């Protein structure tokens, strides 16, 4: 094979972390990582995850036999209940096909592969969005990938008018890829009423809804609140695809634990969809890995462990929310020119600061702040020891 061209890897995590580590400046700040850090800047293994790991290791009956193509059923069933709510009619009526996936990325890919076979249509991704969305749908064979303007730079908030206009103008039956909570990278979510308006247009136009849910519970600290958009669409009769990731809300980043569900109109369609998902997985990686799904299944299906998990999830969400407040207060105290309410209005791991690439460069060169060029910061990189320093750095670049 002589015509192999090199693919230039995108900058994130690994490269980022490497240059951050190599920087000898003691006041350096890493706001590029897409993973939770505690107040000491360290990764956090949830105590409930440790507990579950120990229980799994101690369980002599477990082996390393292959799982089913669609994974562990107690895990996928619990995943559907988690996102839809245990009382959802779709759950009671068994109107879902659920398949264990290689984390959230694998879930989006499996959904894209499924749609490429049964519903080839234009796909709408938000601008901006997680960079992998376009790559996944392209590799799944979609030629017509379009964008909806999500971010309004003037208000540093949601561009609802553009979103609705774009979805209205889209061909009937288009695929809408939506972030149900903690939009990456902006941290801006529609309000519940705005979700209803989006649903209204989607219904009129017969659009197909694909929710990429990577942050349930991690965003607001409430599993219900972060699922409200998904539940609204499903309860109002939409057939939807849902990708779930347990990277953030369980801290299981490298265990690659996720789930793809397709909510259908009838149980028969769900069974058909399930068989097709298995067909795709079978020819791809045959069956998924077990460890992460065993942990999640154990925790979600045990009321005591589940309560501990919800508590620890809230600890992460609350720390991030408190850092938003601390940053906002520091900027306000410094009298930094501009409005900064968006820092506290946004939600989830990321915040779109509105800083320009030139300002980001100065933050890096002068203050050893590591963040992406588009002005996105990971709130998890802030803590009580560095938030003031970061605010002062922002204050300086904004004024100079
Ligand atoms: N979707 C979005 C919007 C994300 O931000 C992420 C995590 N960066 C994912 C999906 C998937 O992550 P993972 O494959 O690690 O579960």
Quick count: other Cβ atoms within 10 Å of Cβ 291? 15
What residues contact residue 309 under an 8 Å CB cut-off, 6+ apart?
A: 46, 48, 250, 299, 300
Phi, psi of 275 (to 5 degrees): -65, -35
> Which atom number of ligand 1 is nearest to the Cα of residue 34?
8
The dihedral sign for the CA sequence 175, 179, 183, 188: positive
Count other Cβ atoms within 10 Å, centred on residue 282. 12
The band of 382, judged by pLDDT with boundaries at 50, 70 and 90, is: very high
CA proximity to 241, closest of 398, 125, 80: 80
**How confident is residue 34, by pLDDT bands cut at 50, 70 and 90?**
confident
Kindly give the distance from the C-alpha atom of residue 349 to the centroid of ligand 1, in angstroms, as a whole number: 12
- Evaluate whether 323 touches 378 at the Cβ level (below 8 Å): no
| CATH class of the domain defined by 66-301 | alpha beta
- How many Å apart are CA 207 and CA 121, to the nearest integer? 10
> Which residues, judged by CB distance below 6 Å to any ligand atom, belong to the binding site of ligand 1?
34, 103-105, 130, 179, 184, 212, 214, 245, 247, 253, 258
ipTM of the complex: 0.99
Active site residue 248: yes
- pLDDT tens-digit series, residues 82-112: 999 999 999 999 999 999 999 999 999 999 9
pLDDT at 289 > cutoff 90 = yes
Residue among 16, 34, 214 whose CB has most ligand 1 atoms within 8 A, to mutate: 214
Query: For 223-282, how does the pLDDT look when each residue is reduced to its tens digit (9 = 90+)?
Result: 999 999 999 999 999 999 999 999 999 999 999 999 999 999 999 999 999 999 999 999
pLDDT at 11: 62
State how far the Cα of 179 lies from the Cα of 350, in Å rounded to an integer.
Answer: 13
What is the Cα Rg of the chain in Å? 21
Strand partners, 369: 29
- Give 59 Cα–ligand 1 centroid separation in angstroms: 31
Say what the pLDDT of residue 13 is: 57
What's the distance, CA 260 to chain centroid?
13
Q: Which of 44, 130, 151, 340 is catalytic?
A: 130
User: In the annotation, is 21 catalytic?
Assistant: no
Share of the chain above pLDDT 70, in %: 99
| Contact criterion met (CB below 8 Å) for 175 and 207 | yes
Provide the token pair at 81.
Answer: 């209940």
Least confident among 9-18, 168-177, 207-216: 9-18
- The mean pLDDT value of the chain amounts to 96
Give yes or no: 130 in active site. yes
Q: At what angle do helices 357-367 and 387-399 cross, to 10 degrees?
A: 120
Return the higher-pLDDT residue of 301 and 155.
Answer: 301
Closest of 261, 210, 235 to residue 80, by C-alpha: 261
Ligand 1 centroid to 187 CA: how many Å? 14
CA of 104 to the centre of ligand 1 (A): 5
Please say if the pLDDT value at position 398 is more than 60. Answer: yes
Predicted pLDDT of residue 192: 98
Please determine, for residue 17, whether its predicted confidence score (pLDDT) is greater than 80.
Answer: no
What average pLDDT does range 284-294 have in this prediction? 98
Q: pLDDT digits over 116-141, tens only?
A: 999 999 999 999 999 999 999 999 99
Mean pLDDT of 373-379: 94
Q: Please report which helix (H) or strand (E) contains residue 258, including its range.
A: strand 257-263
Residue 16: what pLDDT? Answer: 74
- Confidence band for 33, pLDDT divided at 50, 70 and 90: confident
Residue 15: what pLDDT?
A: 64
Q: Where are the domains of the chain?
A: 13-45+311-399, 66-301
3-state secondary structure at position 37:
coil
Measured from the Cβ of residue 161, the count of other Cβ atoms closer than 10 Å reads: 10
The domain 13-45+311-399 having CATH identifier 3.30.200.20: the answer here is no
Cα dist from 280 to 132, 242, 288, whole Å:
20, 17, 12
Q: Which atom of ligand 1 is nearest to the CA of 179?
A: 3
**Considering only CA atoms, which residue is closest to atom 8 of ligand 1?**
34
Residue 9's pLDDT is: 79
Measure Cα distances from 129 to 116, 133, 134 in Å.
21, 7, 9
Of all atoms in ligand 1, which is nearest to the CA of residue 104? 16
pLDDT at 14 exceeding the cut of 70: no
């Amino acid at each position: 094979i002589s015509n192999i061209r090199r693919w230039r890897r995108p900058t994130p995590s690994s490269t980022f972390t490497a240059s951050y580590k190599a920087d000898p400046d003691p006041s350096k700040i890493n706001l590029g990582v897409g993973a939770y850090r505690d107040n000491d800047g360290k990764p956090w293994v949830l105590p409930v995850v440790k507990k579950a790991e120990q229980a799994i290791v101690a369980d002599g009956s477990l082996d390393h036999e292959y799982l089913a193509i669609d994974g562990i059923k107690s895990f996928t069933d619990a995943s559907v209940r988690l996102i839809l709510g245990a009382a959802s009619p779709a759950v009671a009526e068994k109107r879902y096909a659920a398949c264990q996936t290689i984390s959230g990325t694998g879930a989006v890919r499996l959904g894209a592969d499924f749609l490429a076979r049964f519903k080839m249509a234009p796909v709408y991704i938000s601008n901006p969005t997680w960079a992998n969305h376009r790559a996944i749908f392209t590799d799944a064979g979609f030629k017509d990938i379009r964008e909806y303007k999500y971010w309004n730079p003037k208000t540093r908030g949601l561009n609802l008018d553009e979103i609705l206009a774009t979805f209205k103008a889209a061909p009937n039956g288009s695929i809408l890829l939506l972030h149900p909570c903690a939009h990456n990278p902006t941290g801006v979510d529609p309000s519940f009423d705005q979700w209803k308006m989006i649903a209204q247009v989607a219904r009129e136009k017969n659009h197909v809804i694909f929710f990429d849910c990577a942050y349930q519970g991690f965003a607001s600290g409430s599993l219900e609140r972060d699922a409200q958009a998904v539940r609204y669409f499903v309860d109002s009769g939409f057939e939807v695809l849902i990708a779930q990731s347990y990277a953030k809300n369980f801290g299981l980043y490298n265990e690659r634990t996720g789930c793809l569900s397709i909510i259908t109109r009838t149980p028969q369609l769900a069974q058909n969809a399930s068989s097709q998902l298995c067909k795709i997985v079978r020819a791809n990686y045959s069956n998924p890995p077990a460890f992460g799904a065993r942990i999640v299944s154990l925790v979600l299906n045990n009321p005591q462990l589940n309560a501990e998990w919800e508590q620890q999830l809230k600890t992460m969400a609350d720390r991030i929310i408190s850092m938003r407040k601390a940053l906002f207060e520091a900027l306000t105290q410094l009298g930094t020119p501009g409005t900064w309410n968006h820092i506290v209005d946004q939600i989830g791991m990321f915040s779109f600061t509105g800083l320009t690439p030139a300002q980001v460069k100065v933050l890096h060169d002068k203050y050893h702040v590591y963040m992406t060029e588009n002005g996105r910061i990971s709130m998890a990189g802030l803590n009580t020891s560095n938030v003031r320093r970061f605010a002062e750095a922002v204050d300086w670049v904004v004024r100079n």
